[in-house]
Amino acid sequence: MRRPMIAGNWKMFKDKDGVKAFAKELCSKVKDVSDRDILVCPPAVYLESLSRAFSGTKIKTGAQNIFWEDEGAYTGEISGSMAKDAGADYTLIGHSERRQYFHETDETVNKRLIAALKHGLIPVVCVGERLEERQDKRTFDVIGTQIRQGLKGITDAQAVSIIFAYEPVWAIGTGKTATPDIAQEVHAYIRGTIQGVLGKDRAEGMRILYGGSVKPGNVDDLMCQPDIDGALVGGASLEASSFGKIIRFRG
């Protein structure tokens, strides 16, 4: 049985007071929830205060990105150990906005993944096709390559903690969610591809989250699908009220 996970990605939103208020409200909304993992990925500058606000609860924090070197002259970057120091247990890797705006490639995703594992961060590796790729019927090709390149050099033992997130780029922030059937079809393909790289046991145990306009109103149907193990939520994770409702999905 794969344990469900609901993860929030705040992207570049919120201020100090907003972080504090959110933490207080979310803690009270989900204090009785214990059968699923809860994760919030704030901007890096708020990692420490948010981690502190969640201490003593089951809610975990994650970075939105880490660099692959441990330290050095890399202005603007943070390392895995720094994220860890600030209280993160997880890190997103290869989010489509990183790929689109910051020239992230499958090769750099792989480097960041190796760094995350080295520092004991649980990586949430994001994959997904763009609209034109779906229209050209290249969805499986694109995602297959992202997974195989992303996992290059990763051993079976190292892969235990890895989580994947399927985020069709055309569904992110657009209000257009993939239907549960479309999402399930790709999730099953992702699991099959992981099986090809890491074997059946690892594939069966690996959690695959869906992301792209997840809301309180559509999460239940998505979570009913056999290969959807959780959600990576952007916009609807910014308010504790909507994020709390998503966390309480009925699957």
Q: How many binding residues for ligand PGA (CB under 6 A)? A: 13
Beta-bridged to residue 208, according to DSSP, are 164
* Secondary structure (3-state) at 239: coil
Q: Is 187 a catalytic residue?
A: no
Q: Note whether 9 binds ligand PGA by CB under 6 A.
A: yes
Exactly one of 93, 124, 127, 232 binds ligand PGA (CB under 6 A); that residue is 232
Label residue 28 exposed, middle or buried (CB < 10 Å: 0-12, 13-18, 19+).
Answer: exposed
Q: Is 95 a catalytic residue?
A: yes
Q: Note whether 62 binds ligand PGA by CB under 6 A.
A: no
Q: Phi/psi of residue 102, each to 5°?
A: -125, 25
CA-to-CA distance for 62 and 121, rounded, in angstroms?
8
Q: Report the residue closest to ligand PGA, judged by CB.
A: 234
CB of 221 to ligand PGA, least distance (A): 15
Q: What mask, x for binding ligand PGA by CB under 6 A, covers residues 157 to 196? A: ----------x----xx-----------------------
Stretch touching ligand PGA by CB under 6 A, among 57-65, 101-109, 154-162, 209-217: 209-217
97, 167, 185, 187: the catalytic one is: 167
Give the strand pairing for 59-63 and 5-9: unpaired
Give the dihedral sign, CA 9/236/220/27.
Answer: positive
Exactly one of 214, 219, 246, 247 binds ligand PGA (CB under 6 A); that residue is 214
The H or E element spanning position 189 is helix 180-198
Cα 101–228–102 angle (5° rounding)?
10
CB of 235 to ligand PGA, least distance (A): 3
Interface residues toward ligand PGA, by CB under 6 A = 9, 167, 172-173, 211-214, 232-236
- Residues forming the active site: 95, 167
